[in-house]
Amino acid sequence: MSGLVIAIDGPAASGKGTLARRLAERFGLRHLDTGLLYRATACVLLDEGLPLNDVEAATAAARGLSLVDFDEARLRSREMGEAASVVAAIPPVRAALVDLQRRFAACEKGAVLDGRDIGTVICPNARVKIYVTASPETRAQRRALELTARGEKTDYQSVLADVKKRDERDGSRSVAPLKPAADAIVLDTSDLDIEEAFRVAVEIVERAK
Ligand code: C5P
| pLDDT tens, residue by residue, 66-96 | 877 899 989 999 899 999 999 999 999 999 9
pTM of the complete model: 0.95
CA of 3 to the centre of ligand 1 (A): 25
State in Å: Cα 166 to ligand 1 middle. 9
Residue 49 counted as an annotated binding residue: no
In degrees to the nearest 10, what's the CA dihedral of 97, 12, 185, 117? -20
Run of H or E including 142: helix 136-149
Query: Across residues 100-124, what is the average pLDDT?
Result: 96
Distance 164 CA to ligand 1 centre (A): 14
* Alpha carbon distance, N-terminus to C-terminus of the chain: 11
Residue 49 φ/ψ region, left for φ over 0, alpha for ψ in the -120 to 50 degree band, beta for the rest = left
Are 58 and 87 in contact, with CB atoms under 8 Å apart? Answer: yes
Please tell me the residue having the least CA distance from ligand 1 atom 2. Answer: 35
User: Does the predicted interface ipTM exceed a cut of 0.90?
Assistant: yes
Number of CB atoms found within 10 A of residue 70's CB: 17
- Is the pLDDT at 1 greater than 60? The verdict is no
**Residue 114 alpha carbon, nearest atom of ligand 1:** 21
- Identify each DSSP E strand in the chain by its residue range: 4-9, 30-33, 110-115, 128-133, 185-188
Is the distance from CB of 166 to CB of 82 less than 8 angstroms? yes
Q: Taking a C-beta distance cutoff of 8 angstroms, is the pair 101, 37 a contact?
A: yes
Atom of ligand 1 nearest to the CA of 166: 10
What is residue 54's predicted lDDT score, i.e. its pLDDT? Answer: 98
- Reported in sequence order, the residue ranges of 59-196 that DSSP labels E, i.e. its strands, are 110-115, 128-133, 185-188
pLDDT tens-digit map of 20-44: 999 999 999 999 999 999 999 999 9
The pLDDT tens digits for 148-172 are: 998 988 899 999 999 999 999 999 9
Confidence of residue 48 (pLDDT cuts 50, 70, 90): very high
Instruction: Write out 161-183 in H/E/C secondary structure.
Output: HHHHHHHHHHHHCCCCCCCCCCC
Residue 18 marked as a ligand binder: yes
Residue 2 has pLDDT above 90, yes or no: no
* Per-residue pLDDT at 49: 97
What's the pLDDT at 75?
Answer: 95
Which atom of ligand 1 lies closest to the CA of 17?
Answer: 1
pLDDT above 70: percentage of residues in the chain: 100
Q: Which of 31, 93, 116, 147 to mutate to test the pocket of ligand 1 (most atoms within 8 A of CB)?
A: 116
Which residues have C-beta atoms less than 6 Å from ligand 1? Answer: 12, 34-35, 38-39, 81, 84-85, 88, 115-117, 166, 170
Going from the Cα of 9 to the center of ligand 1, the distance in angstroms, rounded, reads: 10
151: CA distance to ligand 1 center in Å? 22
Q: How far is CA 161 from CA 8, 102, 115, 136, in A?
A: 24, 33, 21, 9
Share the mean pLDDT of the chain.
Answer: 95
Please give the pLDDT value at position 47: 95
